[in-house]
Amino acid sequence: MTSIDPTKVADVAAALKRKPVVSSACIGCSACVAISGDVFELNDDGYSIVMDLPDYEGKDVDDAIVACPVNAISWTK
């Protein structure tokens, strides 16, 4: 039987982690911040940015994506 290398499993898992991204279409409405303030914040110019976190799963990012009036938020890998 072939064994699975735990290092390779960890590498694949890390590669599959998704991170939200905010495009330049952001209008600074702050809906994403209201929904998922632990992931999004407004920068000094008033536009949404994504905070650097080790994991974004379970942080209501999908709800923020749906609520964005200009579709400026999406998932990336």
Q: Is the pTM of this model over 0.75?
A: yes
Contact by Cβ (8 Å): 67, 36:
no
With respect to residue 3, please indicate whether it lies within any of the assigned structural domains: no
Q: How many domains does the chain have?
A: 1
Distance between CA atoms of residues 12 and 44, nearest Å? 36
Q: For residue 1, tell me if it sits in a domain.
A: no
Residue 15 lies in a domain: no
Is the CB of residue 66 less than 8 Å from the CB of residue 31?
no
In a domain, 5, yes or no: no
What are the backbone dihedrals phi and psi of residue 59, each rounded to the nearest 5 degrees, phi first?
A: -110, 20
Domain extent for 57: 24-76
Whether 7 maps to a domain, the answer reads no
Q: For residue 54, tell me if it sits in a domain.
A: yes
> Is residue 44, in this structure, part of any structural domain at all?
yes
What backbone torsions phi and psi does residue 50 show, to the nearest 5 degrees? -95, 130
Domain CATH for 56: 3.30.70.20
Which pLDDT tens digit goes with each residue over 10-65? Answer: 766 666 688 999 999 999 999 999 999 999 999 999 999 999 999 898 899 999 99
Radius of gyration (C-alpha) of the chain in whole angstroms: 15
Establish how many alpha carbons lie within 13 A of residue 2's alpha carbon, considering only the half-sphere containing its beta carbon.
2
